[in-house]
Structure 1
Amino acid sequence: MVSLIDLPEELLSATFGYLVSENDMNAIARTNRHLFGLFNPRLYRHNVECSNGSALTWAARYGHQNTARAILSAGACTDTIQSRIQGALIWAAEGGHGPIVELLLDYGADLKDGDALQAASHGGHESLVKLLIDNGADVNSHGGAYRSALQAASCKGYEPLMKLLIDNGADVNAQGGAYGSALLAASQEGHEQSVKLLIDSGADVNAQGGVYGNALQVASWNGYEQLVKLLISHGADVNTQGGALGSALQAACHGGHEELAELLINDGADVNAKGGDCGNALQVALLKGHQELVKLLISHGADVNAQGVQDKE
């Protein structure tokens, strides 16, 4: 009986052409080395022509350099692969797959939109961030979920990476994105040392942005007492209004943080200030059922007859 491997290559190729499923193609290609060498390039061409080059995205995401190289070689000049390269670059950058990032750059991946730099920064890949910057990535490019690479690194508390970005010109006060700014990102996630680095690098502690208003408000809402002290010691205004929470005191009351509320009051927070979605600090405490906070506020002069919004959840 003639085995599959004994058939002429022309006949094998013709047989392979009748296969529709890439799983079937892959199974035959992996039968032995001879068939792998014969069919694997055709498998990748089929992926480019019939599956929009999906193998490139998979390879970039999971760090399979040989697969990435093979699929690029199979369809590098096609519109299909060119349209996949940018997405693949982001996956490779997020995963820290430096060799694949370099390979994609060699095949024309564009760094102008800043998404790859943000992805590498969010992943904490310092050497890869440096590689991208060295290849022309703009540290202040705006876009994506985090608005900037510095904000992406700040929300994770990657201080060495943040310093690298700042040393390469990253704007510490850039606004926008999911958090509002790098300082708000670090404050939201409770990264005290990251906050200090940003302030020491020129970040405005009272800058408004994002949903919560400013860094002090978001730190107060989360109950980060040491971070609140740090911000106040660097000039944060305890009575600044803005965002959904209104003020730092209202934010602390919303989160039920009694000791933090007292700290803010002792630092000059106005217990009767109005703002945000809930009116004032007393109304927030009542709305959330924080009885001890209600007592604290009244003991510090909160007006029990003050009018304002009381029906918001």
Structure 2
Amino acid sequence: MSWLTVKSFEPCERDINALAQVNRDLYALLNPYLYRLNVHNSSNPAIAWGAYHGQEAIVRKALEQGAWTGSTFGTGKSPEPITLAALSGHANIVKLLLNHGVQPMKRWGWNDNGLKNRAEVLQVLIDDAGFVPRFFDFFKLLPYGDGYFDTIEGFETFKVLVRGCPKWEYHVKHKYAGLLSFAIHVSFGNLEIVRFLVDSGSPVNDQDLWGHTPLAYAADAGNVETVQFLLDRGADFDP
């Protein structure tokens, strides 16, 4: 069977794919041709489908057959495959596409809407794409980045953000000094979160917009361990 033969049946791509599933030998014969055919399918490219659904094998096969890494659904208004993979939390596919030369920051603005709860994806973008998190992008949504401290996934993302953000200590001291108080309030004084924030530069005595200190929030939450930790780190009863 030649490529031209399969190409002539391009309008019947879905039917050919169904036929290929009937027999293992037939599948092995037709599958490479089907991927080559799909490279030209602008309405439902395999590379975009695989990226969205986390199917690394499909993305690899599409790339092997020359799929354009910017191919996406419909008229091209949907996010590109690397963005689809990132928003869906498929760090392995993000890494694969980066290794094929994709520039992830070209058409998509990464911020807390896109990468919250996507710690692994964010780490790949920082390590492999030279992505530098901007403090403002991740704290556009008031107050203070809601969602980072009330779930495990959100906190893991927050830790990656802090470690990758330039001048973090400056920002957290001068622009978002109330971040520690907010984190204690929404996490009910979670000691792990509080320890990380203090170790990362959050002031222990700064008041939030309502005049409350981290120590006051920890005491209100009834978290004795967190209260003791803050006192050990220099928290003042009456700052």
Q: TM-score, normalised by structure 1?
A: 0.49
The 1:221/1:87 distance shift into structure 2, 3 A limit, reads: farther
Instruction: Work out the CA distance in 1 between the residues paired with 2:37 and 2:172.
Output: 49
Structure-2 residue corresponding to 1:50: 43
CA deviation after TM superposition for structure 1 residue 198, in Å: 2.4
Q: Which of 154, 167, 170 is matched with 1:169 structurally? A: 167
Partner of 1:35: 30
Look up the match of 1:17. 11
Match of 1:109 among 104, 119, 127: 104
Paired with 1:58 and 1:95, the residues of 2 have a C-alpha distance of 10
Aligned to 1:75: 68
Whole-Å separation in 2 of the counterparts to 1:153 and 1:195: 14
- Unpaired segments of 5 or more residues in structure 2? none
2:93 matched to 1:100? no
Number of residue pairs matched?
221
Checking the alignment, whether the CA contact within 8 Å between 2:117 and 2:156 is kept in structure 1 is no
Q: Does structure 2 retain, via aligned residues, the 8 Å contact 1:172–1:198?
A: no
Question: 1:235-259 CA deviation, whole Å, 9 max, x = no partner?
Answer: 556689xxxxxxxxxxxxxxxxxxx
Conserved 8 A contact 2:17-2:34? no
Deviation of 1:68 (Å): 5.6
2:83 corresponding residue in structure 1: 87
Partner AA of 2:208 in structure 1: Q
- Partner SS state of residue 156, structure 1: helix
Letter in 2 for 1:50: S
Could you report, residue by residue, the CA deviation over 1:250-275 in whole angstroms, capped at 9, with x for unpaired residues?
A: xxxxxxxxxxxxxxxxxxxxxxxxxx
Q: Cα deviation per residue 1:191-244 (whole Å; 9 max; x = unaligned)?
A: 42442342244312334269xx6644554454422113323454556689xxxx
Whether contact under 8 Å (1:126, 1:161) holds in the other structure is: yes
- Percent identity (aligned): 11
Structure 1 alignment gaps of length 5 or more: 241-313
Tell me which amino acid in the other structure corresponds to 1:203.
Answer: S
Provide the rounded CA distance (Å) in 2 between the counterparts of 1:80 and 1:86. 14
Tell me the residue number matched to 2:183: 185
Inter-partner Cα distance in structure 1 for 2:19 and 2:216: 58
Shift, 1:189, TM fit: 6.3
- Cα RMSD, aligned residues only: 5.0
CA distance change for structure 1 residues 25 and 172 in 2, over 3 Å: closer, same or farther?
farther
Question: In the alignment, residue 41 of structure 1 is paired with which amino acid?
Answer: R
Q: Would you say 1:137 and 2:155 are equivalent positions?
A: no
TM-score by length of 2: 0.60
Query: Contact 1:175–1:181 (CA<8 Å) still a contact in 2?
Result: yes
CA–CA distance in structure 1, aligned partners of residues 27 and 46 of structure 2:
25
Larger radius of gyration: 1
- The separation in 2 between residues aligned to 1:18 and 1:155, in whole angstroms, is 45
Give the match's secondary structure for 1:34.
Answer: helix
Does the 8 Å contact 2:189/2:226 carry over to 1? yes
Change (3 A) 1:220 1:113: farther
1:252-271 equivalences under 5 Å are none
Q: Which amino acid in structure 1 is aligned with residue 105 of structure 2?
A: D
Local SS of the residue matching 1:107: coil
Secondary structure at the counterpart of residue 40 of structure 2: helix
Return the letter of the residue paired with 2:31. Answer: F
For 1:300, the equivalent position in structure 2 comes to: none
